[in-house]
Amino acid sequence: MRLSTGILLIMTSTFSVAAGDSLLDQDFRRLASDEVVNIGETYQGKVILVVNTASKCGNTPQYDGLEKLYEEYGDDGLVVLGFPSNDFFGQEPGTEEEIQEFCRLTYKVRFPMFEKVAVKEGNAHPFFDKLAAEAGTYPTWNFHKFLIGRDGKLITQFSPRTKPYNEKVIAEIESALAM
């Protein structure tokens, strides 16, 4: 009898994680689209760089480096996920269609972009609440970066001032891709 109970508890625990306790078990609508994807299912087994973005920020040129990372390491399993946010001094005021057009025309962004979300503490989308709980910090400005491993667990975070091709970012990405 105890053996059966032990097995049941193990199965229940495994089901609980699969049913929604995962950091990546989040549904998002693609930018300027009606298509909704679960990022945990869609990007399962990938190394993910999550970035809150803005089009009218001093860090906006980082789109260029993010796209280059996506191009250079994409075949190895890296995906960059952009989440526009208007939380910091209204630096992402446009509609999703305007944001999409700006990103494509100005920076030739092809990495996946998702719906405009709140990322600041107290009003953040649940995904950013989970990221903050794991990282110990909410995004402090536009272009805050969170690196998630193939196992769906947070590896580290980088401040908005840390550019995409910073040697620490590259080292962490390459290490995560090697696993």
Q: How many residues does the structure list for the chain?
A: 179
CA dihedral angle for residue 120, residue 95, residue 41, residue 129, rounded to 10 degrees: 10
pLDDT of residue 21: 64
pLDDT digits (tens, 9 = 90+) for 6-54: 433 333 323 233 334 689 999 999 999 999 999 999 999 999 999 999 9
pLDDT of residue 14: 30
57 is catalytic: yes
Amino acid letter, 59: N
- Residue 108 scores a pLDDT above 90: yes
pLDDT digits (tens, 9 = 90+) for 78-91: 999 999 999 999 99
pLDDT digits (tens, 9 = 90+) for 59-81: 999 999 999 999 999 999 999 99
Tokens coding 168: 């620490």
Band of pLDDT at residue 132, cut at 50, 70 and 90: very high
Catalytic residue among 29, 30, 32, 57: 57
Average pLDDT for 117-123: 97
Tokens coding 121: 């503490």
Interatomic CA distance for residues 59 and 155, integer angstroms: 23
Is there a contact between 113 and 146 (Cβ–Cβ < 8 Å)? no
- Residue 168 scores a pLDDT above 50: yes
* Helices and strands, counts by H and E, the chain: 6, 6
Q: Which residue, 27, 62, 18, 5, is CA-closest to 152? A: 18
The model's pTM is 0.88
User: Cα separations (Å) of 74 from 14, 40, 48?
Assistant: 30, 17, 10
Straight-line distance from the first to the last Cα atom of the chain, in angstroms, rounded to the nearest whole number: 40
Q: Which residue, 14, 102, 26, 21, is CA-closest to 60? A: 102
Domains of the chain plus CATH, in order, are 22-178 (3.40.30.10)
Band of pLDDT at residue 111, cut at 50, 70 and 90: very high
Average pLDDT for 159-178: 98
Q: Which residue has the higher pLDDT, 14 or 113?
A: 113
Average pLDDT for 90-108: 97
